Chains A and B, each alone.
Chain A
Amino acid sequence: MNHTRKPMRADVSGLKWAISTAALAATIGGWGWLTAQNPPEVAIAAPQIAVQPPVVERQPLPPWLTDDPMLPVLPTVVPLNIPARDQVAAPPPAPAAPALREVTIPAPAPAPAPAARTRSSR
Chain B
Amino acid sequence: MGSTITIVIDSDEANARSAFAGAYQTFRAYERILSRFQPHSDLNALNRCAGRGPQRVGQTLWRALQHALWMAYRSDGLVTPAVGEALHTAGYDRDFRQMAGISAADLRTPSPVPDWRLIQCDPRRRTVAIPAGMRLDLGGSAKGWTATLIARRLGRRYPTLVDAGGDIALSGPRRDGSPWPIEVADPFHPDRGLALLMLRRGGVATSGVDYRRWLHRGKWQHHLIDPRTGDPVRTDLLTATVIAPTLSLAEMAAKVILILGAESGLHWLADQPNMAGLLVHRDGQIIRTPNVDRYCWQSSMSANR
Using CB atoms and an 8 Å cutoff, list the residues of chain A in contact with chain B.
108-109, 111-122
Contact = CB atoms under 8 A, between A and B. Distances in A.
A111 B183 CA distance: 11
22 contacts: A108-B300, A111-B196, A112-B196, A114-B183, A115-B180, A115-B181, A116-B163, A116-B168, A116-B180, A117-B184, A118-B167, A118-B185, A118-B205, A118-B206, A119-B211, A120-B209, A120-B212, A121-B3, A121-B140, A121-B166, A121-B167, A122-B165
Given A108-B300, A116-B168, A116-B182, A121 B8 contact: no
Interface in B164-190: 165-168, 180-185, 187, 190
Contact of A119 (B187, B196, B297): B187
A122 B166 contact: yes
Interface string B217-229: 0000001000000
A120 B207 contact: yes
Nearest to A120: B208
Given A121-B140, A121-B165, A122-B211, A116 B297 contact: no
A122 B3 contact: yes
B303 A109 contact: yes
Given A113-B181, A114-B196, A119 B206 contact: yes
B15 interface: no
A112 B212 CA distance: 30
Given A112-B297, A121-B167, 5 more contacts: A118-B184, A120-B187, A120-B206, A121-B165, A121-B212
A108 B299 CA distance: 5
Contacts of A109: 299, 301-303
A116 B206 CA distance: 13
B183 A121 contact: no
Nearest to B2: A121
Contacts of B182: 114-118
Interface string B265-305: 00000000000000000000000000000000101111100
B47 interface: no
A112 B304 CA distance: 11
Contacts of B210: 120
Contacts of A117: 163, 166, 182-185, 193
| Chain B CB within 10 A, most for which of A108, A113, A121 | A121
B136 interface: no
Q: Which 9 A-B pairs have the closest CB atoms?
A: A120-B208, A108-B299, A114-B183, A119-B185, A120-B211, A119-B166, A116-B163, A122-B165, A112-B181
Interface in B123-178: 140, 143, 161, 163, 165-168
Nearest to B278: A118
B98 interface: no
B6 interface: yes
B257 to A, nearest CB: 13
B241 interface: yes
B291 to A, nearest CB: 17
